[in-house]
Amino acid sequence: MTGVWLQGLAGLLRARASWLLGLKPYGIGRAYADGLAKKGLNVVLISRTQSKLDTAAGEIEAKYKVKTKTLAVDFGKADSATWSMLKAELAPLAVGVLVNNVGVSYPHAEYYEAIDDQLIDDLININIQATNKMTRIVLPGMKQRKKGAIVNIGSAAATVAPSGPLYAVYAGTKAYVDMFSKSLDLEYRQFGISCHNQAPAYVATKMSKIRKPTMDAPSPANWVKAAIAHIGYEVTQCPFPYHGAMWGIVSSAPLSVVNLYLLHFHLLLRKKYYKKLEREAAKTKGQ
């Protein structure tokens, strides 16, 4: 197996018989796996549900004629045995691209003191710890081969937005992803490895609860098409053009105005959530 080759000029990533490691086969993760398999990379898919992994792997193999490997892992419950298993399973593969896509968010906008302890643990274990551990597993091989890309999926919640009121822990984990990516990129570019924080704003997935893609909330496939074209370039990216334009506008607006907008928008989302709960409770009572 050979490693990946990052083609600078066109910004396209090409690989022959190398491995993309994609966390989560659905939503953005699945679209990433499809996008890179289309370019000839073999893929390792990691998420919790073996049956879903099998379906995704079968579809990818049939459509793109690449090899796949699946590993069922719950990153919220990963312990030292999990990391050792992943290290052993990935050791024989020349991983060229690691996509640290796995991430969870709040179920709804909420004040910090009202969120569950379990949610805080999940946010830290899944959004931060999985990124750390997976990166440490693949980095030595990339360094030895003098090529590779670590693609961390961040969020506009910490890249475009200057604050994340009522999503404080989520925004904090994604700010970690940004600083981690910037620092790692400086450490490892000299060894032929680039590191990125690719930050989406809304994308139409289960997490965003947006079913139909729109101009500002693209389908995972459209977001990923832009994201793949940005691998090998700048560290912090808002690869989808509409999101990039939003970033430009937000950065040039006064900070106090943006913060006030974010607070009110998220308070409105919280209010809507509780109104919906009230409606559902009233409906159940009436039955």
Ligand X SMILES: NC(=O)c1ccc[n+]([C@@H]2O[C@H](COP(=O)([O-])OP(=O)(O)OC[C@H]3O[C@@H](n4cnc5c(N)ncnc54)[C@H](OP(=O)(O)O)[C@@H]3O)[C@@H](O)[C@H]2O)c1
Q: Which of 6, 20, 21, 25 binds ligand X (CB under 6 A)?
A: 25
Cβ contacts of 50 within 8 Å, gap of 6 or more: 70, 72
Shortest Cβ distance from residue 208 to ligand X (Å)?
Answer: 3
Q: Which of 203, 224, 227, 235 binds ligand X (CB under 6 A)?
A: 203
Q: Residue 202, interface with ligand X (CB under 6 A)?
A: yes
Q: Residue 240, interface with ligand X (CB under 6 A)?
A: no
Quick check: helix, strand or coil at residue 21? strand
Phi, psi of 70, rounded to the nearest 5 degrees: -125, 145
Q: Furthest-apart CA pair in the chain: how many Å?
A: 66
Residue 116: exposed, middle, or buried by beta-carbon count in 10 A (0-12, 13-18, 19+)? Answer: exposed
Shortest Cβ distance from residue 259 to ligand X (Å)?
Answer: 19
Q: Which of 19, 32, 64, 75 binds ligand X (CB under 6 A)?
A: 75
- Of 29, 66, 23, the residue nearest 47 (C-alpha): 23
Nearer to ligand X, 142 or 203 (CB): 203
Q: Which of 13, 15, 41, 126 binds ligand X (CB under 6 A)?
A: 126
Contact 260, 163 (CB under 8 A): no
The one segment of 91-99, 197-205, 232-240, 246-254 that binds ligand X by CB under 6 A? 197-205
Nearer to ligand X, 30 or 145 (CB): 30
Please report, for residues 135, 229, 230, 233, the alpha-carbon distance to residue 9 in angstroms, rounded to integers and kept in the order given: 26, 10, 11, 10
- Return the active site residues: 170
Nearer to ligand X, 21 or 94 (CB): 21
Binding site for ligand X (CB under 6 A): 24-29, 47-49, 52, 73-76, 101-105, 126, 153, 155-156, 200, 202-203, 205-208
